[in-house]
Structure 1
Amino acid sequence: MDTRSAAAFLIIDLLLVCTPGADWAYAISAGLRERSVVPAVGGMVAAYAAHTVLALTGLTLLVAGSAGLLTALTVAGAGYLVWLGGTVLTRPAGPVSPEAPGVAASPWRTAAKGFGISGLNPKGLLLYFSLFPQFVSTDAGAWPVAAQTALLGGLHMTNCATVYLAVGVLARRTLAARPAAARAVTRVSGAAMVGIGALLLAEHLTPWDA
């Protein structure tokens, strides 16, 4: 893979990562509710690391090519989003002070939720299935496909870590002195997670052809 292809992928992937979605909603919620946004972002990035491993083993193609597996994954991810978003809506805490003990969740639990959100998101797998192959070269003299896939996965994880950290930190700093606004933004984040989950469920479970 040449430098030009890697740079092109980095830019396109960054544009996709900058599109608000479930990951953004969780980063904002964690930035406002937890003592640090790092565990949440770490969990989401770890999920994309797992996706990269799946891509390296070829399981991504299997999941993306199986309607049953993809539907099961979508339903599980959508249900998790609805549950987590509902939890945020019912408990819209404002910014957490680092000196306030017993308020925020443990870092491991926060990371686990982030892993679940990104790991169960079928759009993450489809990104690896649809975007990555466009930048993987099979020409003579090119890097091994596994090495190219690992590089693209690393670039994607770098973009995710950078953007989601910025989103969480900016949400926290912007609303730190505005608890009412922070609670409102938290509710919006929770509603976004519920809405995205509901749309995914409707898309895959509604019998449109009936």
Structure 2
Amino acid sequence: MAAFWAVSLLLVVTPGADWAYAISAGLRGRSKVAPAVLGLALGAMLATLAVAAGVGALVAKHPLVLTAITVLGAAYLLWLGVAMWRSPGAAHAGQTQMHDTSWHWLAKGTCVSGLNPKQLLLLLALLPQFVQQTAQWPVALQIVVLGGLHAASCAVVYMGVGLGSQRVLGARPAAAQWVSRVSGGLMVGIAAMLMAEQLWLGATPAL
């Protein structure tokens, strides 16, 4: 389990869409960080449950399932990224104050993490490597436990990222807007790469 945790932590500390979302929550205010991070951890756990439920076998049998997940996740990241770029000082994803609630931040965080196809692919490839077929626990339960450890790592790291961005940039509006635009651009870039990858795979003839 220690080896899995080390690999999981390495993945978590690598900046990506989850980092961008945690930073945007911190820029929006300290009270938004906890629900946003909880949503990100919940999304990671949902991705783990999908792996435990046998999504890997489903994807192997029906490749279009992975394509659909990738396109949906990329479209969502694109929408969030464009909104952050266009309105860096406003509520995340164009929310008004009335709708800028903790529940919205939690739900959006769950979608950002849970619909991230790269995370799902990493978990599909990573979790089975640390499962012991001879262990007393069922394989699915082992995957859930390992996924829970990964989600806990996500919560700790992203909480630090969100609170750190709030503390460092909270009193610097100009810098906060710049960082928000960079975060939005990062989401757009990730979405574009995911879409381009699907177009490339679709255009490449099977060998």
How far did 1:193 drift? Answer: 0.5
1:90 to 86, 93, 98: 86
Could you tell me how far apart the structure 2 residues matched to 1:176 and 1:121 are?
Answer: 28
Residue equivalent to 1:186:
180
Could you tell me how far apart the structure 2 residues matched to 1:173 and 1:201 are?
Answer: 35
Residue equivalent to 1:148:
142
Residue equivalent to 1:28:
23
Q: Does 1:44 align with 2:40?
A: yes
Q: Deviations over 1:122-156 (max 9, x none)?
A: 112112211011110112x5432122112101110
2:49 to 48, 53, 76: 53
Amino acid aligned to 2:17: A
Could you tell me how far apart the structure 2 residues matched to 1:149 and 1:23 are?
Answer: 22
Query: TM-score, normalising length from structure 1?
Result: 0.87
Identity among equivalent pairs (%): 51
Residue equivalent to 1:68:
64
Gaps of 5+ in 1: 1-5, 96-100
Amino acid aligned to 1:174: V
Residue equivalent to 2:119:
124
1:52 and 1:153 in contact (8 A); partners too: yes
1:16 to 11, 17, 23: 11
* Corresponding residue SS for 1:131: helix
Amino acid aligned to 1:61: A
2:130 to 127, 135, 144: 135
Q: Deviations over 1:149-176 (max 9, x none)?
A: 1210111001110111111111110112
Q: Deviations over 1:31-58 (max 9, x none)?
A: 1024321111111111122122222221
1:42 and 1:114 in contact (8 A); partners too: yes
How far did 1:67 drift? Answer: 1.9
2:78 and 2:187 in contact (8 A); partners too: yes
Cα–Cα, structure 1 residues 172 and 104, in superposed 2: closer, same or farther, change >3 Å? farther
* Corresponding residue SS for 2:97: coil
Could you tell me how far apart the structure 1 residues matched to 2:108 and 2:175 are?
Answer: 24
Could you tell me how far apart the structure 2 residues matched to 1:103 and 1:178 are?
Answer: 25
Could you tell me how far apart the structure 1 residues matched to 2:185 and 2:160 are?
Answer: 21
Could you tell me how far apart the structure 1 residues matched to 2:72 and 2:192 are?
Answer: 12
How far did 1:209 drift? Answer: 3.9
Q: Which is helix-richer, 1 or 2?
A: 2
Amino acid aligned to 2:142: Q
Q: Does 1:115 align with 2:110?
A: yes
Q: Deviations over 1:164-210 (max 9, x none)?
A: 11111111101122111011001100110011101111110245548
How far did 1:102 drift? Answer: 3.4
Q: Does 1:157 align with 2:151?
A: yes
Could you tell me how far apart the structure 1 residues matched to 2:146 and 2:139 are?
Answer: 11
* Corresponding residue SS for 2:110: helix
1:13 and 1:156 in contact (8 A); partners too: yes
